[in-house]
Structures are given as C-alpha cells and as structure tokens.
Structure 1
C-alpha cells in the first residue's frame, strides 16, 4: 500500500512545551490556522465544542502495549484500547471548548497538545456524538486526588456549572467508586435526594438512566442532600451531606454521614 501524506492545516500555540508539564485534561491554548485554510473556518463559531485532530510529534511510535495513565499498578492494554499518546501513528483526538475565532486563530480550552504540535483537522462536536452510557474499562487515576480531578472534569463537562452541588456530587461519586468500582456498572442502582444540580451531576458521573436499564431515581429536597448506592449481592452505601460549605477541602468523615450495609 502506498504511504499516506498529511499536511498540517495549522499549529498549536500553547504555554506547555514539555509533555511532563501537561496537566490531565489539557490547558487553554490557541490553534493558528494557516492562511490557505482559513476560509474553512466559516461559521465555525456556531459550535461550542470541537474535535481537534493533531499529530503528537514528540510521541514514541514503536509502542504497542502500555499501562493506562502511565500507572504501573494498572494492567497493560494494547494502545488501540486506550488513549496512550505513544502509538504507531500518533494521531491525537482532543475534545475542546471553543472560546472564540479571531483572524484565523482559534482560542480553546482543555487542549492537551504541546506548543508547535501540527494540527491535521478540525471538526465540530455534534449532539449525535454523545453516547450517554458507553461500556468502557474502569481506569482509575494513580492517586485519589488525580481520580477526583478526573471526575471533576467529567462533571464540569456534563453539568456546565461550578456550583456547590457539583462539587458535592464529585465527592460522593469518588467514595462510591472506591466502594463499588466502576459507577457505570449496569447493576449499580443510584438514588438521589436533594437539589436538581446534585441529581444531574450524579447522573452524569454514574451514567445511570431512568430506563434500559432503570438505575436512577431522584427526589427533590432542600433540607436533605443524599445519595444511596446499591449493588445487589454487595451492599448499600448511603452518603448524607453534613452541611459543610468547603466541600472540596473536608475529609470524608467531616463531609458525610456514611453508612454501608452488606447484602
């Protein structure tokens, strides 16, 4: 088969120049589109989010097996089964939030590409791209803080507001994940009592649906903020907020009344 030739349509302008300094989830950055391709940006600003395909030019290309998130405590996967940057063809697919388009330059958030990275293509993120509850392996971060930050980014992408209930939902989900594992487990039932924001964020983190299968239930309450997680054959975890305002700083036992009952 003949070799494939790809020409960059632009380059990343980022404050990050070393892969070791790139935080999970990326940073605010810019994409400078080459002049000959700038007409293709017409009406791009009608979209809130974009898929950015780039060429990770500093990635290794002889890697076929890797530990997810460079965590040796996790099992190895083939690189086609995870998001490892090192792979035979280091084509990266990044979901970013578009802030603005100005004179051929895109201003985006959460781009995990280094300064100078060649950009191969730009595509809008459409509603049809959403798979609400996909089946995926459970890949936990190396530490509790990294896993919590991963859940925080997921919650922000789903709920779109940094309210107190979002932070409370993240803390509850982290505890439930440590007890039951993957929150997308089709057998894990989730019952929420509290604010609509709490329910929405918990649903986004657990991917629990009202039907097919029926895993999620919600009751509105102003005075009580509580989640009940039930895994048949394992047990039931009840987390009740004790009212502290500094949700992301408190220890679990200061933040929640926690009750776990074995089946």
Structure 2
C-alpha cells in the first residue's frame, strides 16, 4: 500500500442522541447518549456488557480536514499553537475521534453510554473494550487547563469518578481541592509536586487519582487517615500550599462557593522559608 491508496471504512453504527452543533458538545461531562449499532454488526456486541468502559472510535464528519495545527480554543484561547497530532482537536487530516465512555446498558443493538462527546449523527467506526492494562497512571503531558471554571469542574469530576467510582462528599471535596491547587500551583501531574493528605480514605483516593502522585518512583504522595480533619498540602520547589477544609458543606456548595469560604488557605515560599498567607 502506498500513501496514494485510500482506505475504505464502513461505519458500524451511529450516535443517535446529543447536540447537533459541534460547538455545543460539552468538553467533558457525564451526559447519557445512545449509540445504535447497525444490524449486520450486532453479533459483534456479544457479551460486551461484561465491560464497564469502552473506547469508541468515531468519524468527525463535520471536521475541517485541512488543519494541521491549532490553538485549543475551547480550553484556553490564550494557549500557544499545537500540532493536531498532539491534541484531541476534532479538526485534523483524518478526523478519527477516540473517546472513553462508561457502558450503562445494551438493548437490541443500542448502547447507552455515559460521557460521549460527539454530536448526533456521528458515524461510529469501531468499539474496543477498556482493559485494565490500558492505564498509564502518571503520563507526561502538556498542561492544557480550561479557562472556564465550570469546564474545569466537569473535567476533574469526570476523572475523579472514573478513579474513585463513588460520588461521595469527600470526592467532591477532593475535586475542589485539586482545582484550587491547580490554579495556584499549576500542573498537578508533575514529578516535582508532592501531595500530602490528612483526612478520609475517600479524600486521599480522590486526590491521588487527580494528581497522579505515586508512593514511589518518584515518591510524591503521603497520607494520614483522620476522620476529623480534611487537609491537603501541595509543595514544589517554590511554594507550599495548605488547604484545610471547613466542615459541613454539601456537594453543590463545594462546587459553587468561593475558595475562601471552603478552605483555610496558607501559601508560603519554600525557597526562602518566608512568605505570607493568602486567600484565593
């Protein structure tokens, strides 16, 4: 095969629900969607319900196929330009989309999935199960953070739920701590950022999942169980950030209230052991 020879792909299904304008599709979220698999391919769904998560390969049929570099505008229009092969942007020479979804149910060739980021009518090229060995716990990636707080909340919450698997109050607390820490300390998944947690197992599990901080190689994460205190400390070569949670907030309040209402915040300089405290 040469580069001039085309590759013929026949869609196996289609996205049946969702927005019709690509700009209206949430960057992240847990919206429920339906994917219809065409009758000739339904035998391929045999025992697919044994999987909790699936990779969907999609064809972004409304994409601009002439784009080779772009700015991730929906995340942050102030970021520099990246080549499309280093982004998940839909506009690219071969607009194949890869999205991880949670399988809710299967009935008569229709998959009900959670977290699909595609418009109604998007062709489905293939389905693959998410296997345990697919995970890279702490990969190296560029820091592309959303400007919009609601988008950041949605993305962190989705990641936390995938990791912790339970929407408990301390999961929401962990999400808010991570968002606040990222705003002050920058990229959370970096080798030089160390994370210490005092609190419940749920809080520690959530923050470890969001920061991707390992116990070794490098040692970035420590935990002390305490049911009466919820605190996280984030430290790099320059700063030390301490977030101590005030008690009694609901999940909705943890999403919406100001940092200064939720936490006692202390920021100090590591380099000269001086510095004050502040409220974000």
TM superposition score normalised by structure 1: 0.97
Q: Which segment drifts farther, 110-119 or 199-208?
A: 110-119
Structure 2: stretches of 5+ with no match in the other structure = 271-280
Deviation at 1:253, TM superposition (A): 0.6
How many aligned positions are there?
Answer: 262
4+ long deviations beyond 4 Å: none
Write the distance in 2 (CA, Å) between the matches of 1:207 and 1:105. Answer: 35
- Whether the 8 Å CA contact 2:34–2:110 is kept in 1: the answer is yes
d(CA) in 2 for partners of 1:260, 1:173: 15
In the alignment, structure 1 residue 255 sits paired with structure 2 residue 268: no
Match of 2:70 in 1: 66
Q: Of 14, 39, 44, which aligns to 1:35?
A: 39
RMSD over aligned CA atoms reads: 1.1
Q: For the Cα contact (< 8 Å) 1:52–1:122, is it kept in 2? A: yes
Paired residues of 1:8 and 1:120 also in contact (CA < 8 A)? yes
Give me the whole-angstrom Cα distance separating, in 1, the residues matched to 2:85 and 2:155: 21
TM-score after normalising by structure 2: 0.91
Corresponding residue of 2:275: none
- Write the mapping of 1:88-237 to structure 2, written as runs, cut at 5 A: 88-232=93-237, 234-237=238-241
**How far off its partner does 1:162 sit?**
1.2
> Counterpart of 2:235 in 1: which secondary structure?
strand
- Structure 1: where are the runs of 5+ without partners? none
Per-residue CA deviations over 1:152-180 (Å, capped at 9, x if unaligned) read: 21111111111111111111111111121
Match of 2:49 in 1: 45
